[in-house]
Structure 1
Amino acid sequence: MSESKDKKKDIADNPRKEQECEEEQKRQEGIKVLAPSPYFANQEGVKGGEIKGELVTFAVMSSNKIEGKIYTKHSVLLEELRKYLPEFFVLHNFGARQTKGFGSFTIGAIDGEGWHVDENLPKAFAERQVYLLIGDSGSETIEDDVDEAISKVFDLIQDKHRKIKTKSLREYLGGKTERDLCKSLLNHQKPSDPGSYVFARALLGLTNVYSFRGKGKKKVSIRVKYNRRRSKSQTNTIERFPTPLLYKPISIDGAYKVYIIAQPIPKQMRGAAFDFCAPQMKQVWVRTSKDFKLTTFLSSKDCAQHIKKL
Structure 2
Amino acid sequence: MHKIEVALKQHTPLIHFQHDQEGATLRATEVKPNLDRFILTKLGKSPTSDQVSIGHKALKEYDRNLNFDELTPYEKGKFIAKGLDWLIGKGEQPALDYKMKITSDSNDDNIKMRKEIKWVKDKQGNRVQDCDNNGNLLYKTTFPLVLANIGKKKESEIVDFSFSNEIKILFSSFIVELINVIEKAIYEFVILNNFGNRCSKGFGSFTVEKINDTPFELDEQYFEENTFILEFELKKSGNLNLSYFEKIFGVIDYFWRRLKPGINYRGNYIKSYLYKYINQKYQKTWEKQKIKEYFCIEKTKNQNNNPNPPIFARALLGLPDKFEFKNQTVTIKITHPDIERIMAPIHFKPIIDGDKVTIYLLIKNEHFENLKLPTNFTFTNTKDENFMTLPLDIEMDYYDFLKEYYNEFKSENFEFTPINYSGDNILGNNNKVKLYII
Q: Same fold (TM over 0.5)?
A: yes
Q: Work out the CA distance in 1 between the residues paired with 2:316 and 2:278.
A: 12
Q: Which residue number corresponds to residue 124 of structure 1?
A: 222
Q: Which residue number corresponds to residue 295 of structure 1?
A: 399
Greater helix proportion = 1
Q: Which residue number corresponds to residue 256 of structure 2?
A: 161
Q: Output one character per residue of 1:247-278: Cα deviation in whole Å (capped at 9) or x when no partner.
A: 11111234321111012233416422111111
Gaps of 5+ in 2: 1-21, 25-103, 115-141, 262-271, 410-415, 417-434
Letter in 1 for 2:358: K
Letter in 2 for 1:284: M
State the secondary structure of the residue aligned to 1:28: coil
* Contact 2:348–2:361 (Cα < 8 Å) also in 1: yes
Report whether the alignment pairs 1:203 with 2:316.
yes
Letter in 1 for 2:332: I
Q: Which residue number corresponds to residue 14 of structure 1?
A: none
* Contact 2:351–2:357 (Cα < 8 Å) also in 1: yes
Q: Output one character per residue of 1:142-185: Cα deviation in whole Å (capped at 9) or x when no partner.
A: 33342233221122222222321221101111243111111223
1:78, CA displacement in angstroms? 2.8
Number of equivalent positions? 263
Question: Which of these residues, 155, 168, 172, is aligned with residue 53 of structure 1?
Answer: 155
Q: Which residue number corresponds to residue 17 of structure 1?
A: none
Q: Work out the CA distance in 2 between the residues paired with 1:173 and 1:51.
A: 38
What are the residue-to-residue correspondences of 1:1-310 with 2, within 5 Å?
27-28=105-106, 30=108, 32-36=110-114, 38=143, 40-42=145-147, 45-47=149-151, 52-62=154-164, 64-117=165-218, 120-121=219-220, 123-125=221-223, 127=224, 130-133=227-230, 140-145=232-237, 146-147=240-241, 148-166=243-261, 167-174=272-279, 175-185=284-294, 186-187=297-298, 196-212=309-325, 217-226=327-336, 237-264=338-365, 265-268=368-371, 270-278=373-381, 279=383, 282-301=386-405, 304-305=408-409, 308-310=436-438
**Distance change >3 Å, CA 88–CA 304, structure 1 → 2:** farther
State the secondary structure of the residue aligned to 2:273: helix
Q: Work out the CA distance in 2 between the residues paired with 1:41 and 1:286.
A: 29
Q: Work out the CA distance in 2 between the residues paired with 1:178 and 1:302.
A: 24
Q: Work out the CA distance in 1 between the residues paired with 2:229 and 2:372.
A: 26
Gaps of 5+ in 1: 1-21, 134-138, 227-235
Q: Output one character per residue of 1:166-216: Cα deviation in whole Å (capped at 9) or x when no partner.
A: 211011112431111112232378869999211111011002111247xxx
* Contact 1:206–1:243 (Cα < 8 Å) also in 2: yes
1:294, CA displacement in angstroms? 1.7
Fraction of identical pairs, as percent:
22
Greater strand proportion = 2
Aligned-residue Cα RMSD (Å) equals: 3.3
**Distance change >3 Å, CA 129–CA 54, structure 1 → 2:** farther
